Amino acid sequence: MEGLLPALLGALQLSAKLILIIVPLVTLFEVMRYLPVFRRAGNVVEPMMRGVGLTRDAAVPLFTGIFLGIAYGAGIIIRVAQQKGLPARELFLMGLFLATCHSVIEDILIFIIIGGNGLAILVVRLGLAVFLTGLMARVWKPV
Amino acid sequence: MSEPETSATAEESIPDIPTRIRTGLSVGFRTSLKIIKVSVPLYVAVTLLKGTPVLGLLGKVFAPVMGIFGLPGEAAFAFVAAFLLNLYAAIAVIAPLHLSPFQVTQCGLMMGIAHNLVVEGGVLSTTGARGGVLTLCRVAIACVAGLLLRGLWSLWEVASSWTMALSGLS
Protein backbone atom coordinates (compact mmCIF):
# COMPACT_ATOMS: atom_id res chain seq x y z
CA MET A 1 0.00 0.00 0.00
CA GLU A 2 2.56 2.60 -1.07
CA GLY A 3 -0.26 4.92 -2.20
CA LEU A 4 -1.73 5.24 1.27
CA LEU A 5 0.44 8.10 2.51
CA PRO A 6 -0.26 10.54 -0.36
CA ALA A 7 -3.95 9.62 -0.14
CA LEU A 8 -4.01 10.46 3.57
CA LEU A 9 -2.12 13.70 2.96
CA GLY A 10 -4.58 14.73 0.26
CA ALA A 11 -7.50 13.88 2.53
CA LEU A 12 -6.02 15.99 5.34
CA GLN A 13 -5.45 18.89 2.97
CA LEU A 14 -9.06 18.75 1.82
CA SER A 15 -10.24 18.56 5.43
CA ALA A 16 -8.17 21.62 6.36
CA LYS A 17 -9.71 23.59 3.48
CA LEU A 18 -13.20 22.54 4.54
CA ILE A 19 -12.60 23.59 8.17
CA LEU A 20 -11.30 26.95 6.93
CA ILE A 21 -14.60 27.51 5.13
CA ILE A 22 -17.10 26.03 7.57
CA VAL A 23 -15.87 27.46 10.89
CA PRO A 24 -15.72 31.16 9.84
CA LEU A 25 -19.00 30.84 7.93
CA VAL A 26 -20.90 29.34 10.87
CA THR A 27 -19.33 31.84 13.30
CA LEU A 28 -20.21 34.77 11.05
CA PHE A 29 -23.77 33.51 10.80
CA GLU A 30 -24.07 33.16 14.60
CA VAL A 31 -22.85 36.75 15.09
CA MET A 32 -24.99 38.28 12.34
CA ARG A 33 -28.25 36.44 12.60
CA TYR A 34 -29.71 38.55 15.43
CA LEU A 35 -29.23 41.84 13.57
CA PRO A 36 -32.52 43.65 12.97
CA VAL A 37 -31.48 44.27 9.35
CA PHE A 38 -32.28 40.67 8.51
CA ARG A 39 -35.75 40.88 9.99
CA ARG A 40 -36.56 44.01 8.01
CA ALA A 41 -35.11 42.62 4.79
CA GLY A 42 -38.61 41.32 3.98
CA ASN A 43 -39.73 44.84 2.94
CA VAL A 44 -37.01 45.22 0.35
CA VAL A 45 -37.45 41.89 -1.34
CA GLU A 46 -41.26 41.84 -1.34
CA PRO A 47 -41.69 43.14 -4.91
CA MET A 48 -39.18 40.58 -6.19
CA MET A 49 -40.93 37.77 -4.34
CA ARG A 50 -44.32 38.66 -5.81
CA GLY A 51 -42.86 37.91 -9.25
CA VAL A 52 -42.38 34.27 -8.27
CA GLY A 53 -45.77 33.99 -6.54
CA LEU A 54 -44.60 34.33 -2.93
CA THR A 55 -45.75 36.69 -0.17
CA ARG A 56 -43.81 38.33 2.65
CA ASP A 57 -44.62 35.50 5.03
CA ALA A 58 -42.32 33.26 3.02
CA ALA A 59 -39.40 35.73 3.12
CA VAL A 60 -37.65 34.43 6.24
CA PRO A 61 -37.78 30.73 5.37
CA LEU A 62 -36.90 31.51 1.73
CA PHE A 63 -33.81 33.54 2.52
CA THR A 64 -32.73 31.20 5.29
CA GLY A 65 -32.83 28.41 2.75
CA ILE A 66 -31.07 30.38 0.01
CA PHE A 67 -28.16 31.33 2.23
CA LEU A 68 -27.96 28.53 4.79
CA GLY A 69 -29.40 25.51 3.09
CA ILE A 70 -32.33 23.27 3.79
CA ALA A 71 -30.84 20.98 6.43
CA TYR A 72 -29.02 23.73 8.35
CA GLY A 73 -31.91 26.18 8.10
CA ALA A 74 -34.49 23.50 8.83
CA GLY A 75 -35.20 24.92 12.30
CA ILE A 76 -36.19 28.30 10.93
CA ILE A 77 -37.93 26.97 7.81
CA ILE A 78 -40.18 24.52 9.66
CA ARG A 79 -41.04 26.88 12.52
CA VAL A 80 -41.90 29.89 10.38
CA ALA A 81 -43.84 27.82 7.84
CA GLN A 82 -46.02 26.46 10.64
CA GLN A 83 -46.39 29.74 12.56
CA LYS A 84 -47.47 31.69 9.52
CA GLY A 85 -49.65 28.86 8.24
CA LEU A 86 -48.35 29.22 4.69
CA PRO A 87 -50.85 27.89 2.10
CA ALA A 88 -49.99 24.78 0.10
CA ARG A 89 -49.40 26.74 -3.09
CA GLU A 90 -46.85 28.99 -1.46
CA LEU A 91 -45.12 26.08 0.26
CA PHE A 92 -44.78 24.33 -3.08
CA LEU A 93 -43.40 27.43 -4.81
CA MET A 94 -40.97 28.07 -1.97
CA GLY A 95 -39.91 24.43 -2.04
CA LEU A 96 -39.37 24.57 -5.79
CA PHE A 97 -37.27 27.73 -5.52
CA LEU A 98 -35.20 26.29 -2.68
CA ALA A 99 -34.78 22.94 -4.44
CA THR A 100 -33.00 24.74 -7.26
CA CYS A 101 -31.26 27.45 -5.31
CA HIS A 102 -30.23 26.85 -1.69
CA SER A 103 -27.20 27.03 0.52
CA VAL A 104 -25.51 29.08 -2.18
CA ILE A 105 -22.61 30.50 -0.16
CA GLU A 106 -21.32 27.26 1.34
CA ASP A 107 -22.04 25.04 -1.68
CA ILE A 108 -20.32 27.36 -4.10
CA LEU A 109 -17.30 28.02 -1.86
CA ILE A 110 -16.52 24.33 -1.47
CA PHE A 111 -16.60 23.81 -5.25
CA ILE A 112 -14.42 26.87 -5.81
CA ILE A 113 -11.71 25.36 -3.59
CA ILE A 114 -11.53 22.30 -5.82
CA GLY A 115 -11.36 24.40 -9.00
CA GLY A 116 -14.92 25.17 -10.10
CA ASN A 117 -16.36 28.42 -11.47
CA GLY A 118 -18.54 29.85 -8.70
CA LEU A 119 -20.15 32.59 -10.76
CA ALA A 120 -21.35 30.14 -13.41
CA ILE A 121 -22.93 27.93 -10.71
CA LEU A 122 -24.65 30.89 -9.04
CA VAL A 123 -25.99 32.41 -12.26
CA VAL A 124 -27.47 29.15 -13.57
CA ARG A 125 -29.01 28.17 -10.22
CA LEU A 126 -30.54 31.57 -9.48
CA GLY A 127 -31.74 32.06 -13.05
CA LEU A 128 -33.30 28.62 -13.22
CA ALA A 129 -34.94 29.04 -9.78
CA VAL A 130 -36.57 32.35 -10.73
CA PHE A 131 -37.66 30.99 -14.12
CA LEU A 132 -39.15 27.73 -12.83
CA THR A 133 -40.87 29.25 -9.79
CA GLY A 134 -42.23 32.14 -11.86
CA LEU A 135 -43.52 29.66 -14.42
CA MET A 136 -45.21 27.43 -11.83
CA ALA A 137 -46.75 30.48 -10.11
CA ARG A 138 -48.50 31.24 -13.39
CA VAL A 139 -49.53 27.64 -13.99
CA TRP A 140 -50.88 27.13 -10.44
CA LYS A 141 -53.12 30.17 -9.99
CA PRO A 142 -53.94 31.33 -6.45
CA VAL A 143 -57.56 30.55 -5.46
CA MET B 1 -25.61 21.53 6.85
CA SER B 2 -25.73 18.66 9.27
CA GLU B 3 -26.87 20.62 12.36
CA PRO B 4 -30.60 20.91 11.86
CA GLU B 5 -31.35 21.97 15.46
CA THR B 6 -29.00 24.95 15.84
CA SER B 7 -31.27 27.53 14.25
CA ALA B 8 -34.40 26.55 16.13
CA THR B 9 -34.15 29.13 18.92
CA ALA B 10 -33.42 32.27 16.89
CA GLU B 11 -35.97 34.51 18.55
CA GLU B 12 -36.04 33.55 22.22
CA SER B 13 -33.17 35.61 23.65
CA ILE B 14 -30.24 37.49 22.16
CA PRO B 15 -26.87 36.43 23.60
CA ASP B 16 -23.92 38.88 23.65
CA ILE B 17 -21.31 38.84 20.91
CA PRO B 18 -18.59 36.79 22.70
CA THR B 19 -21.16 34.08 23.44
CA ARG B 20 -22.26 34.11 19.82
CA ILE B 21 -18.66 33.78 18.63
CA ARG B 22 -18.10 30.87 21.01
CA THR B 23 -21.31 29.17 19.87
CA GLY B 24 -20.33 29.74 16.24
CA LEU B 25 -16.84 28.30 16.71
CA SER B 26 -18.03 25.24 18.59
CA VAL B 27 -20.90 24.54 16.19
CA GLY B 28 -18.51 25.11 13.27
CA PHE B 29 -15.91 22.70 14.62
CA ARG B 30 -18.48 20.06 15.50
CA THR B 31 -19.98 20.31 12.00
CA SER B 32 -16.49 20.11 10.46
CA LEU B 33 -15.70 17.02 12.49
CA LYS B 34 -18.86 15.27 11.30
CA ILE B 35 -18.01 16.13 7.70
CA ILE B 36 -14.38 15.04 7.98
CA LYS B 37 -15.37 11.68 9.45
CA VAL B 38 -17.12 10.96 6.14
CA SER B 39 -14.88 12.77 3.67
CA VAL B 40 -11.46 11.47 4.79
CA PRO B 41 -12.26 7.75 4.35
CA LEU B 42 -14.00 8.45 1.03
CA TYR B 43 -11.09 10.49 -0.31
CA VAL B 44 -8.59 7.80 0.68
CA ALA B 45 -10.78 5.04 -0.78
CA VAL B 46 -11.16 6.79 -4.14
CA THR B 47 -7.44 7.61 -4.33
CA LEU B 48 -6.52 3.99 -3.68
CA LEU B 49 -9.16 2.69 -6.11
CA LYS B 50 -7.68 4.91 -8.81
CA GLY B 51 -4.57 2.71 -8.76
CA THR B 52 -6.70 -0.38 -9.54
CA PRO B 53 -8.74 -1.14 -12.69
CA VAL B 54 -11.99 -1.10 -10.65
CA LEU B 55 -12.69 2.61 -10.95
CA GLY B 56 -11.95 2.68 -14.67
CA LEU B 57 -14.18 -0.33 -15.38
CA LEU B 58 -17.14 1.01 -13.44
CA GLY B 59 -16.50 4.41 -14.98
CA LYS B 60 -16.92 2.88 -18.45
CA VAL B 61 -20.35 1.56 -17.44
CA PHE B 62 -21.57 5.02 -16.45
CA ALA B 63 -19.75 6.90 -19.20
CA PRO B 64 -22.77 7.14 -21.58
CA VAL B 65 -24.99 8.75 -18.93
CA MET B 66 -22.32 11.05 -17.53
CA GLY B 67 -21.23 11.94 -21.06
CA ILE B 68 -24.57 13.68 -21.66
CA PHE B 69 -23.46 16.31 -19.16
CA GLY B 70 -19.85 16.43 -20.35
CA LEU B 71 -18.60 14.39 -17.40
CA PRO B 72 -16.42 11.27 -17.24
CA GLY B 73 -18.00 7.98 -16.08
CA GLU B 74 -16.09 8.09 -12.78
CA ALA B 75 -18.13 11.16 -11.79
CA ALA B 76 -21.07 8.79 -11.20
CA PHE B 77 -19.54 7.87 -7.83
CA ALA B 78 -19.58 11.50 -6.81
CA PHE B 79 -23.26 11.68 -7.73
CA VAL B 80 -24.05 8.64 -5.58
CA ALA B 81 -22.20 10.26 -2.67
CA ALA B 82 -24.00 13.58 -3.24
CA PHE B 83 -27.50 12.08 -3.55
CA LEU B 84 -27.26 9.83 -0.50
CA LEU B 85 -24.96 11.86 1.75
CA ASN B 86 -23.93 15.44 1.11
CA LEU B 87 -21.69 17.70 -0.93
CA TYR B 88 -18.70 17.15 1.33
CA ALA B 89 -18.78 13.46 0.60
CA ALA B 90 -19.11 14.29 -3.11
CA ILE B 91 -16.14 16.67 -2.94
CA ALA B 92 -14.07 13.95 -1.29
CA VAL B 93 -14.80 11.75 -4.32
CA ILE B 94 -14.27 14.50 -6.92
CA ALA B 95 -10.98 15.89 -5.61
CA PRO B 96 -8.83 12.79 -6.34
CA LEU B 97 -10.34 12.41 -9.85
CA HIS B 98 -8.63 15.60 -11.14
CA LEU B 99 -11.46 16.85 -13.33
CA SER B 100 -11.32 19.91 -15.61
CA PRO B 101 -12.63 23.30 -14.39
CA PHE B 102 -15.78 22.82 -16.49
CA GLN B 103 -16.37 19.37 -15.03
CA VAL B 104 -15.92 20.59 -11.46
CA THR B 105 -18.32 23.46 -12.16
CA GLN B 106 -20.81 21.04 -13.70
CA CYS B 107 -20.64 18.78 -10.64
CA GLY B 108 -21.03 21.81 -8.36
CA LEU B 109 -24.11 22.97 -10.23
CA MET B 110 -25.90 19.64 -10.55
CA MET B 111 -25.02 18.39 -7.07
CA GLY B 112 -25.78 21.77 -5.55
CA ILE B 113 -29.34 21.30 -6.75
CA ALA B 114 -29.69 17.60 -5.96
CA HIS B 115 -27.89 16.35 -2.85
CA ASN B 116 -28.65 14.90 0.57
CA LEU B 117 -31.97 13.83 -0.92
CA VAL B 118 -33.04 11.56 1.92
CA VAL B 119 -32.62 14.06 4.77
CA GLU B 120 -33.70 17.17 2.89
CA GLY B 121 -36.73 15.42 1.39
CA GLY B 122 -37.77 14.70 4.96
CA VAL B 123 -37.30 18.33 6.01
CA LEU B 124 -39.36 19.60 3.09
CA SER B 125 -42.17 17.15 3.94
CA THR B 126 -42.23 18.39 7.54
CA THR B 127 -43.08 21.91 6.36
CA GLY B 128 -46.20 20.50 4.72
CA ALA B 129 -44.77 20.68 1.20
CA ARG B 130 -44.78 17.53 -0.91
CA GLY B 131 -41.33 16.14 -0.16
CA GLY B 132 -41.42 13.23 -2.60
CA VAL B 133 -42.52 15.34 -5.56
CA LEU B 134 -39.94 18.01 -4.77
CA THR B 135 -37.17 15.42 -4.52
CA LEU B 136 -38.00 14.09 -7.98
CA CYS B 137 -38.15 17.68 -9.20
CA ARG B 138 -34.66 18.32 -7.85
CA VAL B 139 -33.13 15.46 -9.81
CA ALA B 140 -34.96 16.59 -12.95
CA ILE B 141 -33.94 20.23 -12.41
CA ALA B 142 -30.33 19.16 -11.86
CA CYS B 143 -30.37 17.42 -15.27
CA VAL B 144 -31.89 20.50 -16.95
CA ALA B 145 -29.32 22.74 -15.27
CA GLY B 146 -26.53 20.40 -16.38
CA LEU B 147 -27.60 20.56 -20.02
CA LEU B 148 -28.02 24.33 -19.75
CA LEU B 149 -24.53 24.82 -18.33
CA ARG B 150 -22.98 22.57 -20.96
CA GLY B 151 -24.59 24.68 -23.68
CA LEU B 152 -23.71 27.99 -22.05
CA TRP B 153 -20.13 26.93 -21.38
CA SER B 154 -19.46 25.95 -24.99
CA LEU B 155 -21.11 29.20 -26.19
CA TRP B 156 -18.84 31.08 -23.80
CA GLU B 157 -15.77 29.26 -25.12
CA VAL B 158 -16.70 30.02 -28.73
CA ALA B 159 -17.36 33.66 -27.87
CA SER B 160 -14.10 34.09 -26.01
CA SER B 161 -12.09 32.44 -28.78
CA TRP B 162 -13.67 34.89 -31.25
CA THR B 163 -12.86 37.81 -28.99
CA MET B 164 -9.29 36.60 -28.82
CA ALA B 165 -9.11 36.17 -32.58
CA LEU B 166 -10.59 39.65 -33.11
CA SER B 167 -8.22 41.32 -30.66
CA GLY B 168 -5.39 39.51 -32.43
CA LEU B 169 -6.46 41.05 -35.76
CA SER B 170 -6.72 44.66 -34.60
Mean pLDDT, residues B159-168:
84
One-letter identity of residue B131: G
- At B33, the pLDDT band (50, 70, 90 cuts) reads confident
C-alpha closest to that of B8 among A103, A100, A72, A122: A72
Q: Which residues of A touch B153 (CB under 8 A)?
A: 120
Q: Give the separation between CA A78 and CA B144, rounded to whole angstroms.
A: 28
User: Contact A90/A54 with Cβ under 8 angstroms?
Assistant: yes
Mutation pick from B9, B21, B124, B160 vs chain A, by most beta carbons of A within 10 Å, is B124
- Give pLDDT < 50 ranges for chain A: none
Domain locations in chain A as residue ranges: 33-139
Tell me if chain A has a CB within 8 Å of the CB of B49: no
Q: Is B16 left (phi over 0), alpha (psi -120 to 50) or beta?
A: beta
Estimate the share of chain B in helix, then strand, then coil, as percent rounded to the nearest 5. 80, 0, 20
Name the nearest CA neighbour of B155 among A124, A131, A113: A124
A vs B: CB pairs below 8 A: 217
Closest-approach residue (CA) in chain B for A61: B127
B8 pLDDT higher than 60: no
Shortest CB distance from A27 goes to which of B24, B36, B44? B24
Q: Are A94 and A107 in contact (CB under 8 A)?
A: no
State the pLDDT at residue B32. Answer: 84
Q: What per-residue confidence (pLDDT) applies to A75?
A: 66
Contact A18 B88 (CB under 8 A): yes
For B87-129, the pLDDT digits (tens) are 888 999 999 998 999 999 999 999 999 988 887 777 767 766 6
Torsion of CA A29, A30, A31, A33, to 10 degrees: 70
A27, B21 contact by CB (below 8 A): yes
Q: Mind listing the pLDDT tens digit for each residue in A23-64? A: 888 888 778 777 776 666 667 777 888 888 888 888 877 887
Q: What is the pLDDT, as a whole number, of residue A61?
A: 79
In this prediction, residue B164 carries a pLDDT of 83
Q: What is the mean pLDDT of residues B142-165?
A: 91
Cα B86 versus chain centre, distance: 7
Tell me if A42 sits within 8 A of A60, measured CB to CB: yes
- For the ranges A22-26, A41-45, B10-14, B80-84, the maximum mean pLDDT occurs at B80-84
Q: What ipTM describes this predicted complex?
A: 0.81
Give the per-residue pLDDT at B1. Answer: 41
